[in-house]
Chain A
Amino acid sequence: NAGVTQTPKFRILKIGQSMTLQCTQDMNHNYMYWYRQDPGMGLKLIYYSVGAGITDKGEVPNGYNVSRSTTEDFPLRLELAAPSQTSVYFCASSYPGQGAGANVLTFGAGSRLTVL
């Protein structure tokens, strides 16, 4: 059981380049999230999805796009990379409900992105 898998772990981009951070989970979780974490700041939500075909903006969506064509995958796309997007990105998933384990976030290992 792999949990939440993110790739790549590290990437350096030039300003203006585009790239996709991949996230996949094998727990059949409905909900998936993308967060970014900057020094001295809490995790900030970029986008989230409550199921295949449904995505919503979080607190800091500008400069990013997402899609959710399957339950398992939730890629995050940066179209025109900017230095302000230098950060560590975490994908997470959860399932809704009332029982033990419901709504608990399972995180991927993170992707460190540097834009120069």
Chain B
Amino acid sequence: ILNVEQSPQSLHVQEGDSTNFTCSFPSSNFYALHWYRWETAKSPEALFVMTLNGDEKKKGRISATLNTKEGYSYLYIKGSQPEDSATYLCAYKNTGNQFYFGTGTSLTVIP
């Protein structure tokens, strides 16, 4: 069984606060780490794909970092807005054809 863990499970922040969450994954046979944003009643949408140790990706107020040697990735949201409320999923891909998903971090941004 391959474990991908995300923490915290849920988070409530005030509008304007910055926040971050963690995804930990096996460091062996690493191929890629994906972050997806999943809004209620919709399907997951890709945020970032990271493949190299030390990768940093940014999209607006959201950014992510990757450490493949120790097996973790951080997702940061700067100045959270209510529209950022969603579940954020990470997915680890090894050198096979499968993705392994974490259970997600549910973010609620309070206006």
When each residue 11-44 of chain A gets 1 if its CB lies under 8 Å from chain B and 0 otherwise, what string results? 0000000000000000000010101000011111
Please give the number of chain A residues whose Cβ is less than 8 angstroms from any Cβ of chain B in the complex: 23
Measured CA separation A106–B104 after assembly (Å): 17
A82 at interface (Cβ–Cβ under 8 A)?
no
* B43 in contact with A109 (CB, 8 Å): yes
In the bound complex, do residue A40 and residue B43 qualify as a contact, i.e. CB atoms below 8 Å apart?
no
User: What's the least CB distance linking B52 to chain A, in Å?
Assistant: 12
> A31 and B91 in contact (CB under 8 A), knowing A104-B34, A105-B36, A105-B46?
no
A79 within 8 A of B: no
Give chain A residues whose Cβ lies under 8 Å from the Cβ of B34.
103-105
**Interface contact A41-B91, CB-CB below 8 Å:** no
Assess whether B89 is interfacial by the CB under 8 Å rule: yes
A56 to B101, CA, bound (A): 18
In the bound complex, CA of A48 to CA of B32 (Å)? 18
Once bound together, how far apart are the Cα atoms of A9 and B89, in whole Å?
Answer: 22
Question: How far apart sit A72 and B102, CA to CA, in the bound complex (Å)?
Answer: 28
Knowing A104-B49, A105-B44, A107-B43, say if A42 contacts B4 (CB, 8 Å): yes
Q: Tell me whether B91 and A58 are in contact (CB under 8 A).
A: no
Q: Is A74 an interface residue (CB 8 A)?
A: no
Residue positions of A touching B, CB distance < 8 A: 31, 33, 35, 40-45, 48, 50, 56, 58-59, 90, 103-110
List chain B positions with a Cβ less than 8 A from chain A: 4, 32, 34, 36, 42-46, 49, 89, 91, 93, 97-104
